[in-house]
Structure 1
């Protein structure tokens, strides 16, 4: 089977779409943010961007989950190619980047309530984002509704 990893910056809808896709396909779901250690969460909540040194252990935990759930669906920022290269060592992986124009991301984040990730970190995420290579997966339009995206992705993930 193929693990589907839905990637993108904060506010793109990756958690919503990945969760809906897992439900639709009857597959296990991982919210990658749930595996961040408390120190990473505290750092981001305080408005500081994570460094690669902060991210590698977290990505390793996500990769371990993927290796144990080879039919899973994961929501994970996976902004850089090197991060995705690590995740790909878990087995057969399809990356799906939900791409949203920056003004729309800013609007979404301004309206989001109760999330620990501050909108102020969007700039650092956009700076770190490396688009998917043609060998990694697909990029989809995050301006589509979650239902439309889920429909589109369910066809790819079967």
Structure 2
């Protein structure tokens, strides 16, 4: 059975890079959850304020619908809390991949990023909010993107 794949983790962990590479390898459609944030959320994050659950709820509902209607997709999404993951995947049917990396490594990567609304200074709030997923497969980001994608493909073949 084909099912959506969610690449999750804190901002700067490589979700978009890994997700788009994976989608290309699998011939799946790639979606970046950041593209579905309302403008008000983007402005809030750009001004240095983290989103709260109330900000995220309508966005998560949109993502849930996207996943339900696109079984052959890869979604890059932070999905920091278990409640968010439950809302997006209520029957626990999808493949979840958690990109796992240290705050220091991710902060270095974020400082090199340009043209993104999320500010590196907000990384602490991401780690504070993060509920490490117990049911997702964990993949270390302390390796080149192609190796990460290959590891994810191996995990998906085994499941």
Structure-2 residue corresponding to 1:82: 83
* TM-score computed with the length of structure 1 as normaliser: 0.94
1:115 matched to 2:116? The reply is yes
RMSD: 1.2
SS state at 2:35 partner: helix
1:152 matched to 2:142? The reply is no
In structure 2, C-alpha distance between the alignment counterparts of 1:38 and 1:91, rounded to whole Å: 29
In structure 2, C-alpha distance between the alignment counterparts of 1:41 and 1:102, rounded to whole Å: 22
Structure-2 residue corresponding to 1:59: 60
User: What are the within-5 Å matches in structure 2 for residues 8-157 of structure 1?
Assistant: 8-89=9-90, 92-133=93-134, 136-157=135-156
In structure 2, C-alpha distance between the alignment counterparts of 1:62 and 1:90, rounded to whole Å: 15
8 Å CA contact 2:7–2:19 kept in 1: the answer is yes
Displacement of 1:114 after TM fit?
1.6
Displacement of 1:105 after TM fit?
1.1
Q: Would you identify which runs of 4 or more consecutive aligned residues in structure 1 move more than 6 Å?
A: none
Q: CA offsets per residue over residues 38-76 of structure 1, 9 Å max, x none? A: 100010011100000000100111111000101210000
Q: Give ranges in structure 1 of 5+ residues lacking alignment.
A: none
Displacement of 1:85 after TM fit?
0.6
SS state at 1:105 partner: helix
